[in-house]
Amino acid sequence: MKRIPALLFLPAALLLAEVVASCSPDKKKAHYPFQPVSFTQVHVSDAFWSPRLEAARQVTIPLAFSKCEETGRYDNFVKAADQMHSSENKGYRVGGYSFDDTDVYKTIEGASYLLQTHPDPRLVAYIDSVLDIVAAAQEPDGYLYTARTMNPRRPHSWAGTKRWEKVEDLSHEFYNLGHMVEGAVAHYQATGSRKFLDIAIRYADCVCREIGPQEGQTARVPGHQIAEMALAKLYTVTGDAKYLQQARFFLDQRGRTEARSAYNQSHRPILEQDEAVGHAVRAMYMYSGIADVAALTGDTAYIAAIDRIWDNIVSKKLYLTGGVGATSRGEAFGRNYELPNASAYCETCAAIGNVYLNERLFLLHGQSKYIDVLERTLYNGLISGVSLDGGRFFYPNPLASHGGYQRQAWFGCACCPSNICRFLPSLPGYVYARRDNDLYVNLFMGGEAEIDLKSTKVGIQQQTTYPWGAFTDITVNPQKEVRFKLKIRIPGWIKNQPVPSDLYHYSDGLTPSWSVCLNGEMLADSPRSDADGYYSIDRRWKKGDVVSLYFDMPVRRVQANDQVLADQGLTAVECGPLVYCAEQCDNALDVLNCQLSPTSVFKQRDLYFHQSATDQALWESDTDEVDLQGKGYRLLEIDTQAFVPDHPEQTTTLRLIPYFAWAHRQTGPMTVWLK
């Protein structure tokens, strides 16, 4: 049987180059009101994020490709092609999960994002060889689902006896389509090759022909959503309106077919929904699809529906870390204000979905509050799902632990590792946005970008100490001297609003300051931002203009709304966009039962994460012995005085680390919320 060679490569040093595909559609199409600046136009060079992206390139994606080979993901396509071209039933046993094909698609997607900053002919050739076996497994009419094709007489037990029979339940045929399209679009944009895109278009066309309201078609909705947002993306790339119409059909029919369950949000039509319920990953993908259709069509009913659901999430169902999904029962949202800590599920995939939703709502409304939620999720509950070295993963991300959690190298159901594979390399596409002659700076991340505005092309360079430090310089380099508006997001946390609702609030009475300078001259010192949450500079720009930002970053105390029973009487600690936690291995006292003094004085200290000679992760404060570029990872330690419950007259030092970095050393208790 044909084998794909193991991916044991990706060299450490490669030439930087931008591989930009021409994505000009042949047909007129609608756009988002606010448009993202593509990942192909942004290059990240950042003290915080570059090591993450390098770990994805060197470790995570090679690991995922090797697991696809090791676990038979590729073999499934080979078997499907073999069976399809045979006049006899080969009798292949169909095992694994009905969505195993998506691990291949997701890993190609992540690798494609990386190719725009690290072009690698060997990686391109490897992906092409994988796409050869994927294409060979596609049936003549475009259908591509190895769990049926490799043995039509005895397909996967979740697949049903014929196409689409169980797609509203467990077959995942539409889910596979969604991830295929997402991967294919990324591959096309990064390389200019249509090889994967044409495979995805053929499958999408098959679905559009067979699923719909017309005579001879079948009315079905996805049992696991993602096809909705993927089809909307395919529309934005091709300009073919049938893909947007298909996405809308899937959404309009929800709650109107045989599927009627809150678990997959089919309990009622979407325009009647006003609360986030059910399986959190399915929900966030579907809500992202609603936001896509709302933004691309301007449908006011869709806009009202997704605004209601988002408001329910951020005001009643969002964890302080940006995670969503309170319970392991169905990997689901809980009731309003049901946010337990030790049993919190907060699946990594759901955090990724939360980023997708808030990005799309920004593209619809252009308000900074959506990026505030995105940033909170990104820096906390999302990257906690992958180890600093890129090789181990969390499925759930609880806010407290008695010591039973460790990241794993892989899972039988590998949705979280492969989702991390595809998400992290896409990060450059979230930094900037534009609308006509307005340029939005949404995330503070070192690097460079080339951005097309209505009047000219503008080069942007960021240098920043974010999230550890207070300073960011933005150098503006327009091709010609021209007037446009630079809009800089002023984070909610510096305006004393942890999240855009009353779900959490700062309880320390502090008022952090911030300021903006232009070419060394003060423009604003703690002014008010605009109604949309941005500070706008509308002027005639010339090459070399520098905007300097200062955001004060004191250590903050956070409390939850009193209706969150799990957090009553507790406080959490933040600094800038980062949530902190206490791990037992840093502290002599019991972190789950210590009592934080109301008069504690917080001290900040620079620490470094590195590997010891025994390959055990450590925190070290002796910076003279740490080569930050070679083996270091800069972190922040916070010391505070805490009461020891059995001896209230005694105090001891309580040490906290960023939540995303927990569980890298000894297995033991951890908590975000402190008494």
Active site residues: 331, 415
On whether the CB atoms of residues 435 and 34 are closer than 8 A, the answer is yes
66 touches 72 (CB < 8 A): no
Q: Please tell me the distance from the alpha carbon of residue 407 to that of residue 667, in angstroms, as a whole number.
A: 10
Work out whether the CA dihedral 71, 74, 77, 81 comes out positive or negative: negative
SS3 per-residue string spanning 275-330: CCCCEHHHHHHHHHHHHHHHHHHCCHHHHHHHHHHHHHHHHHHCCCCCCCCCECCC
Q: Let me know: does 464 contact 446? Beta carbons within 8 Å.
A: yes
Is 553 strand, coil or helix?
A: coil
In the chain, the amino acid numbered 378 is: L
Residue 317: Cβ within 10 Å count? 23
Coil, strand or helix at 195:
helix
Q: What is the largest CA-CA distance in the chain?
A: 83
**Residue 218: alpha-carbon gap to chain centroid:** 33
Residue type, 546: V
| Pair 89, 81: CB distance under 8 Å | no
Assess contact for 212 and 219: CB atoms under 8 A: yes
CA angle 83, 84, 89 (to 5 degrees): 40
Closest CA to 123 of 192, 189, 65, 180: 65
CA distance 263 to 382: 23
Residues in the chain: 675
Helix 101-115 vs helix 121-136: angle between axes, to the nearest 10 degrees? 150
Q: Is the peptide bond before 598 cis (omega within 30 degrees of 0)?
A: no
**Per-residue tokens: 592:** 């789950």
Per DSSP, 381 falls in state I
- C-alpha–C-alpha distance, residues 652 and 594, integer Å: 10
